Amino acid sequence: MKQYITLSEEVRNAKEQGKPIVALESTIISHGMPYPQNVQTAREVEQIVRDNGAVPATIAIIDGKIKIGLTDEELEMFGKSSDVAKASRRDLAYLLATKKLGATTVAATMICAELAGIHIFVTGGIGGVHRGAETTMDISADLEELGQTNVAVICAGAKSILDLGLTMEFLETKGVPVIGYQTDVLPAFFTRRSEFPLNLHADDVETIASTLKVKWNLNLKGGAVIANPIPEEHAMDEKFINGIIESALKEAEERNISGKDVTPFMLGKVKELTEGKSLDANIALVKNNAVVGAKIAVSFNSMK
């Protein structure tokens, strides 16, 4: 297995020295944001992780290898290239075998992080059950991965373009704990709140780190969702954003956009209709997640 994994110098040194490491995905660079904001955000998020006591490990598929930690030049390449595959579980083997460029989704990043012995992962929001999934069966592979891979995902909940109620039901069925960080309700990415209460709540990162340690010590397989709301000053008005999402969903349906193409189309449309405000919110929440994720990683590392 090790023949497929290569660590950056920074990550390799962190492993040797027993430092806390935070995994970061690369799809957010290649498919989640436009250039140059994508590369700038990636660099800033990595620095935030360092500033809070951990080592960042942005993960991607390059030249037949799973790269754990990217160089500045590689970040730039993923930000600019239009020929980067969106890599989930089903795509990993093919992309490695054919030596194509692959940007890892939440699911693929979780797999690669666990292979590298990294258990804390920061992203923007998780995928989930899409609206109308009862007929389309359109359910993100992120949810299945959370049910079987031992990585905690720090996120601002799930995007409200999804069916949040069914997403929560799916996670419950899979036994995935959803822990609200300083919140009792599921955040909905652009907004701090949704109508869905959370059973698990933590006011400090130590409680989260301890919960993760006990979970995996008990061999309770699978990850955890750490739901961290977007900061108040960057949150969007709930009625405003939901109206825009409904409009964008209708257009996606009319244009027969489905599967993994839905999310990038929706985010692009929402950015257009909010005149760029949604991109600002997206960047702010990822940075906020990086702060919390790094602190969780430091606490979790201290308990080993």
Torsion angle of C-alpha atoms 267, 270, 272, 278, degrees rounded to 10: -90
CA distances from 29 to 75, 110, 246 (A): 8, 16, 25
Which position among 25, 74, 76, 114 bears the catalytic label? 25
Residue whose C-alpha is closest to residue 178's, from 138, 219, 128, 218: 128
Residue-by-residue DSSP string for 241-257: HHHHHHHHHHHHHHTT-
SS3 227: strand
Whole-angstrom distance, CA of residue 156 vs CA of residue 279: 14
182: alpha, beta or left, given left = phi > 0 and alpha = psi -120 to 50? Answer: left
Q: Are 274 and 282 in contact (CB under 8 A)?
A: no
Tokens of 267: 């985010």
Nearest-angstrom CA–CA distance, 88 and 181: 27
Structural tokens at position 79: 């930000």
Pseudo-torsion of CA 70, 71, 73, 75, nearest 10°?
30
CB 81 within 8 A of CB 2: no
Which candidate in 159, 215, 287, 295 is catalytic?
159
- Whether 206 is a known active-site residue: answer no
Which residues, 6+ apart, have CB-to-CB distance to 53 below 8 Å? 20, 294, 295, 297, 298
159 is catalytic: yes
**Tally of CB atoms within 10 A around 254:** 8
Catalytic residues, by residue number, are: 25, 159
